[in-house]
Structure 1
Amino acid sequence: MTKLERLRADHAPALLAFERENREFFARSIPDRGDAYFSEFAARHRALLAEQDAGACHFHVVVDERGDLLGRVNLVDVQDGNAELGYRIGEHATRRGVATAAVAEVCGLAAAAYGLTSLVARTTTDNPASQRVLARNGFTVVGDTTLSGRPGIRYHRRLSEPAP
Structure 2
Amino acid sequence: MPQLQRLRFDHAPELLRFEQENRAYFAASVPDRGDHYFAHFDARHRDLMAEQAAGLHFFHVLVGGSGEVLGRVNLVDVEDGSAELGYRIAEEAAGRGLATAAVREVCALAAAEYGLTTLRAVTTLDNPGSRAVLARTGFAAAGEIELDGRQGLSFVRDLRDAHVGADPAPGVIR
Q: Smaller-chain TM-score range?
A: over 0.9
1:32 aligns with 2:70: no
User: Which AA in structure 2 matches 1:12?
Assistant: A
Matched residues in 2 for 1:102 and 1:119: separation?
14
The structural deviation recorded for 1:66 is: 2.4
After the TM superposition, which residues 1-164 of structure 1 pair with which residues of structure 2 at under 5 Å, given as runs? 1-161=1-161, 162=163
Would you say how many aligned residue pairs link Structure 1 and Structure 2? Answer: 164
Which 4+ stretches in 1 moved above 4 angstroms?
none
Matched residues in 1 for 2:29 and 2:81: separation?
29
Matched residues in 2 for 1:36 and 1:67: separation?
26
**Is there any run of 5+ residues in structure 1 with no aligned partner, and where?**
none
Matched residues in 2 for 1:148 and 1:52: separation?
26
Indicate the RMSD between aligned Cα atoms, in angstroms.
1.1
What SS class does the counterpart of residue 47 from structure 2 fall into? helix
Identity value in percent: 62
What SS class does the counterpart of residue 22 from structure 2 fall into? helix
TM-score, length basis structure 2: 0.92
Matched residues in 2 for 1:139 and 1:18: separation?
27
Q: Could you say which structure has the greater relative contact order, defined with CA pairs below 8 angstroms and 6 or more residues apart?
A: 2
The structural deviation recorded for 1:65 is: 2.3
**For residues 43-98 of structure 1, what are the alpha-carbon distances to aligned partners after superposition, in whole Å with 9 as ceiling and x for unaligned?**
10000000000000000000122222100000000000000000000000000000
Matched residues in 2 for 1:72 and 1:147: separation?
20
Matched residues in 1 for 2:147 and 2:35: separation?
18
